[in-house]
Amino acid sequence: MRIGIIGCGHMGSAIAKALLEKGVGKVSVSNLKKPPFKINWTTDNKILAQNADIILIAVLPDAVKSVINEIKPVLKNNTIIISIAAGVPLKRLASWTKNHKKIVRVMPNLPAQVLEGISVWKASSGINKQEKQTVAQLLNSFGKSIEVKNEDLINIATAVSGGGPAYTAAFLESLADAAQKIGFSKTDARSLALQSAYGSILYMEKTGLDFAEVKNVVQTKGGTTSAGFKILKKKNWQKTLEKALFAGYKRAREISN
């Protein structure tokens, strides 16, 4: 399987490195600048596309159309096109490619750069079962993946998993800032926040406990966490966060349309 990646920014580089590390296919990249790691490299998108079974487009959304126009003359019918451009729907990709049958739209997220991403994807009707397995293998090389049947769910994923690292960072920032104000050093406060979140995530993943169950177990009656949650509940913080996520979803839909 020959995989060609067009664009070698943060996400394109992360995916290329993951595929190389996991030994998934024969990987090449097309980019104006030579990547800062060892990989087959060209500056010619057409040459890359001509020699690839899968073409992964990892450029900014406003550059996707020009890239497709460039590679369209050399596209083979069985070539799979994967786009990770935010806000570019399948119907638009199909239109730009003159109705190419094998297209996949993916929403990855920042943790892909450390092989712990989550990618939500939707395939066009021309992608068969075996090809879907190949796509899943590629995406799972840098984390986990979820295939959806309703493309609008990718807009929700853009808000939740795409924006998730920022919301998580804001939460950790508050934990660390509080710890530092009370007396911890900046370094120790950061470690305290990070490990608390990391350990909690592993605990919930391994035990399979529901989020609400863990939240209630930790909040013992009259305890310290219960005292803190009284303040948060007064501020209606979870509903506020949900409103923020729905605002992100609404914006994602606007961009897609």
154, 92 in Cβ contact below 8 A? Answer: no
SS3 of 145, please?
A: strand
In angstroms, what is the C-alpha Rg of the chain?
Answer: 21
Query: Is 90 exceeded by the pLDDT of residue 50?
Result: yes
Query: Is 90 exceeded by the pLDDT of residue 49?
Result: yes
Write the pLDDT tens digit of every residue in 143-181: 999 999 999 999 999 999 999 999 999 999 999 999 999
DSSP annotation of 223 reads: S
- Tell whether the torsion through CA atoms of 67, 27, 118 and 148 is positive or negative: positive
Report the alpha-carbon distance of residue 210 to residue 74 in Å, rounded: 50
CA triplet 51, 57, 59: central angle to 5 degrees?
Answer: 130
pLDDT grade, residue 107 (50/70/90)? very high
Domains and CATH numbers, the chain: 2-149 (3.40.50.720), 164-256 (1.10.3730.10)
Write the pLDDT tens digit of every residue in 18-43: 999 999 999 999 999 999 999 999 99
| HSE of 172, CA atoms in CB hemisphere, 13 A | 19
37, 17 in Cβ contact below 8 A? Answer: yes
Confidence (pTM): 0.94
81, 100 in Cβ contact below 8 A? Answer: yes
SS3 of 29, please?
A: strand
**Which amino acid, one-letter code, is at 100?**
H
pLDDT at residue 257, as a whole number: 85
Write the pLDDT tens digit of every residue in 58-72: 999 999 999 999 999
Q: Which residues of 44-64 are buried (b: 16+ CB within 10 A; e: fewer)?
A: ebeebbbebbbbbbbbeeeeb
pLDDT at residue 121, as a whole number: 98
Share of the chain above pLDDT 70, in %: 100
Share of the chain above pLDDT 90, in %: 99
121 phi, psi to nearest 5 deg: -140, 155
User: Which residues are registered as beta bridge partners of 56?
Assistant: 5, 82
